[in-house]
Amino acid sequence: MSYDVSTAEPVIVAKDLAKSYRQFDHPADRLKQALWGQRKTYYKGFDALKPVSFELKRGQVLGVVGDNGAGKSTLLQLVCGTLLPSKGHVSVHGRVAALLELGSGFNPDFTGRENVYLNGSILGLSQAEISQRFDEIVAFSGIGDFINQPVKTYSSGMMVRLAFAVATSVEPDILIIDEALSVGDGAFARKSFDRIMALKEQGTSILFCSHNLYQVEAICTEVMWLNQGRIEAFGPPGEVIKRYEAHLFEVEAGQDTQRIDHRSPDTSDEALLPGQGVHPKFTHVQVELDQMASTLTEVPEGQTGQSVLKVHAHWRCVGDLPPPSFAVTLHALDGRMVASAGTHIDQVELPCRQGAGQVTLSFDDLALLKGEYWVEVYLLCENGVLFYDQRVPAARFRMTQPDFALEQGLVHLPRNWNSE
């Protein structure tokens, strides 16, 4: 059951919160500044975060988006208390769990058990409370007997699993997430995602910073766009992200670089602990335009209003997970997404049979006007938020418009004319 935020009290209140740094051109300038004090200035001021004010109520999910260097990480650290503000103040009411640099606070010479007690204490738990939660923490992390081994013998994945299990075991009032809605790989990625979503449903307030605009729009109740340390926009996810995407398009259109994908994360596989499962994964993806193969090197040509684009996909399922959802996006050559379709949007169920699933998606009478396009294909969790696998891009194709020679734009829309 989701938490009602209509009458909730704020758990985070930031008033004119700002952070500045001093930048010295030479190491000796630091000494000169210390000797001269305020009488002379040997540094340049850099405002990582200019005065910002906002509130986060219990049960709300606030997304934070912005370019690299916009001040997002600085804001999260100020809320966590790992940085002190240069101006303003932030009030935090409740227990905070931060998924920032998981495992960075572990002592490598301590065993996993000792680090659980150490980090649990830092997060505000008593020894008795940690002992009460200890077995569940170890079981959730899945590291088994390694809990009694020094952390320096752990793989990075094992350390992240244990750190996540500790951080989320404190039953936080506020959860701060930097980038990922899940951690680890395979089965643990799904477990961690489910735990974060469960905390959200229980009324935990979430501050979620990410470049994945799709996930931000999917789970957030409000979004803040930071631009060069200032709040550029604050409001409903759809409105703010639309403005931010327009900004990204303007920036990227003027750069001679590869397109930056702000919609989907990397889903590359990592090593799994023995005995753990894997997430659903594509086994075959095939794209056709008018029954002609469409790949990254084979680029067929279709006609506006006549061609049929088909996407065939096969994947392996994981027995203990719900059947996945499937999505396709179509992009113009400049990177703009021009259309999308998803089974989680159209409420189409994709059953798994004998450990496998498949689907064919058809775009009939393709309305795209002349130009080159590419297809991206995604496999997601059943509610379309957590990414399992992707083919980005999966195929390319071109369109011509002999029947609509002078028509401009991206798509041909059906219409009727009446001169009476």
Residue 103 confidence (pLDDT): 66
CA distance 399 to 333: 12
* CB-based burial, 159-182: b 16+ in 10 Å, e otherwise: bbbbbbbbbbbbebbbbbbbbbbb
Element (H, E) at 190: helix 186-201
Query: Is 233's pLDDT higher than 80?
Result: yes
For the chain, which domains are there?
Answer: 10-242 (3.40.50.300), 281-400 (2.70.50.60)
Beta-strand runs (E) in 58-180: 61-65, 87-92, 96-99, 174-178
Query: Is 335's pLDDT higher than 70?
Result: yes
Virtual CA dihedral for 270, 274, 275, 278, nearest 10 degrees? 10
Instruction: With beta carbons less than 8 A apart as the criterion, state whether 417 and 317 touch.
Output: no
- pLDDT tens, residue by residue, 116-163: 999 888 888 899 999 999 999 999 999 999 999 999 999 888 888 898
- pLDDT tens, residue by residue, 190-222: 888 888 899 999 999 999 998 888 889 988 999
With cut-offs at 50, 70 and 90, classify the pLDDT of residue 97: confident
Instruction: With beta carbons less than 8 A apart as the criterion, state whether 361 and 328 touch.
Output: yes
List % helix, strand, coil for the chain (3-state, nearest 5). Answer: 30, 35, 40
Please give the DSSP secondary-structure letter assigned to residue 365. S
- pLDDT tens, residue by residue, 272-290: 333 344 788 999 999 999 9
Considering the entire predicted model, what is its pTM?
0.75
With cut-offs at 50, 70 and 90, classify the pLDDT of residue 28: confident
